[in-house]
Amino acid sequence: MSDWAERLTAAEAGAERKEAAEHEAEQKFKTVRAQAQAQGDADKALQSDEFRAWMASRHETDAAWGQWATVMDAKPQLH
């Protein structure tokens, strides 16, 4: 496997791990949001650690897929 292909595979695997963590964080937030809604204070969920963790994980996922795109764009040209 070429060096580029190895970098691409690693970048994709990393992005997929970040995406999985993001989905887990989103589920935790949805639980907190449902509890807040049940208490009549849905906005309270937006102040939670779970919301902050979810947003941070979304940022990490975006960055990881951005890294993947950078590697993809660096694909060696065949002559």
Per-residue pLDDT tens over the stretch 16-70: 999 999 999 999 999 999 999 999 998 999 999 999 999 999 999 999 999 999 9
Asked whether residue 16 is assigned to any structural domain, the reply reads no
Q: Does 18 fall in a domain?
A: no
Number of domains comprising the chain: 1
Question: pTM of the prediction?
Answer: 0.87
For residue 14, tell me if it sits in a domain.
no
What domain range includes position 51? 3-8+26-73
- DSSP letters of the chain? --HHHHHHHHHHHHHHHHHHHHHHHHHHHHHHHHHHHHTT-GGGGGGSHHHHHHHHHHHHHHHHHHHHHHHHHTPPPP-
Residue 20 belongs to a domain: no
* Residue 19 resides in a domain: no
79: in domain:
no
Question: Within a domain: residue 17?
Answer: no
